[in-house]
């Protein structure tokens, strides 16, 4: 009986030692996995920070988490009011302000690119409107229209990008990493289309969006089709940037194509 009791005691000690070893191993695995989990986590939202505050996390720890992960918003009056209402102290606010400034700085290249594309589109629209006005002045007092294209009883009316969708559209558009574009322009109208202008927007997407470079190659190109497109017909187009884009490993282009403008050619009298 005594021998059996001694044996059971030894077994119990062995089981306890094994359990402690297993528990220690699990804890070590969890600790080692923390850096990996931290790297995979996305930047903090305003709701994330509010949850940390409302759950009683210490301000110094919240500030540390904010600086480790960054934030995905800009610090304006609305955000500042909410953080203060949630109970954020000066330590948390300073950390949020710092990381928000970094977030704003990282977004500047994309904003400049969008502003430049909008500016160029605005200039193109003004040029088209001016051309439309010049064409309108060609009409004679008799109500007949001059031959503005050196063709008998033919006039071209310029349409803006807003009118493009009802008259002409793109299909089967494809692009390559080198920036080459191809596709088809479909004339849905009953008139011949001329000077169809395409806007090709090369938007640069950084491989590391949180640490973008300073030489953003994004730009907008305007490409005019040389051939007329008869009513109801389809014309294929191809565009290749010259010089070709240099190979880069820090990002890639997102390429978009749309109709920026065109002219409708009316046979006979001028359109009313």
Rg of the chain over CA atoms, in angstroms? 33
Asked if residue 107 lies in contact with residue 115, where contact means CB atoms within 8 angstroms, the answer is no
Q: Which residues in the chain come in under a pLDDT of 70?
A: 1-41, 131-164, 267-272
| Backbone φ/ψ region at 195: left (φ over 0), alpha (ψ -120 to 50), beta | left
Q: What pLDDT does residue 20 have?
A: 52
Distances (CA, A) of 224 to 22, 124, 134, 185: 71, 12, 20, 12
Q: What pLDDT does residue 121 have?
A: 83
Helix or strand (DSSP H, E) at 220: strand 219-224
**Rounded to two decimals, what is the model's pTM?**
0.41
Among all chains, which residue has been given the structure tokens 């187009």?
237
CA-closest candidate to residue 149, choices 194, 203, 187, 95: 194
Q: d(Cα 93, Cα 248) in Å, to the nearest integer?
A: 38
| Backbone φ/ψ region at 240: left (φ over 0), alpha (ψ -120 to 50), beta | beta
Pairing of strands 192-206, 234-239: unpaired
Over residues 30-62, the pLDDT tens digits come to 444 444 444 445 789 999 999 999 999 999 999
| Backbone φ/ψ region at 130: left (φ over 0), alpha (ψ -120 to 50), beta | alpha
């Amino acid at each position: 009986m005594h021998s059996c009791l001694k044996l059971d005691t030894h077994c119990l000690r062995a089981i306890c030692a094994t359990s402690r070893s297993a528990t220690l191993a699990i804890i070590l695995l969890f600790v080692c996995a923390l850096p990996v989990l931290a790297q995979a986590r996305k930047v903090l939202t305003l709701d994330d920070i509010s949850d940390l505050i409302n759950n009683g996390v210490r301000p110094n720890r919240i500030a540390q988490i904010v600086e480790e992960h960054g934030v995905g918003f800009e610090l304006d009056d609305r955000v500042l009011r909410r953080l203060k209402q949630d109970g954020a102290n000066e330590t948390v606010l300073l950390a949020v302000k710092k990381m928000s400034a970094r977030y704003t700085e990282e977004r500047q290249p994309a904003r400049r690119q969008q502003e430049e594309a909008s500016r160029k589109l605005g200039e193109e629209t003004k040029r088209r409107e001016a051309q439309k006005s010049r064409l309108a002045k060609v009409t004679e007092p008799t109500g007949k229209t001059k031959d503005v294209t050196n063709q008998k009883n033919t006039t071209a009316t310029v349409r803006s990008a807003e009118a493009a969708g009802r008259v002409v559209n793109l299909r089967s558009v494809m692009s390559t990493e080198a920036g080459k574009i191809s596709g088809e322009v479909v004339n849905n109208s009953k008139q011949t289309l001329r000077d169809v202008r395409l806007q090709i927007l090369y938007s640069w997407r950084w491989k590391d969006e949180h640490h973008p470079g300073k030489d953003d190659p994004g730009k907008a190109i305007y490409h005019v089709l040389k051939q007329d497109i008869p009513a109801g017909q389809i014309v294929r187009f191809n565009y290749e940037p010259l010089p070709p884009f240099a190979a880069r490993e820090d990002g890639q282009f997102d390429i978009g194509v749309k109709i920026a403008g065109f002219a409708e050619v009316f046979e006979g009298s001028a359109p009313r």
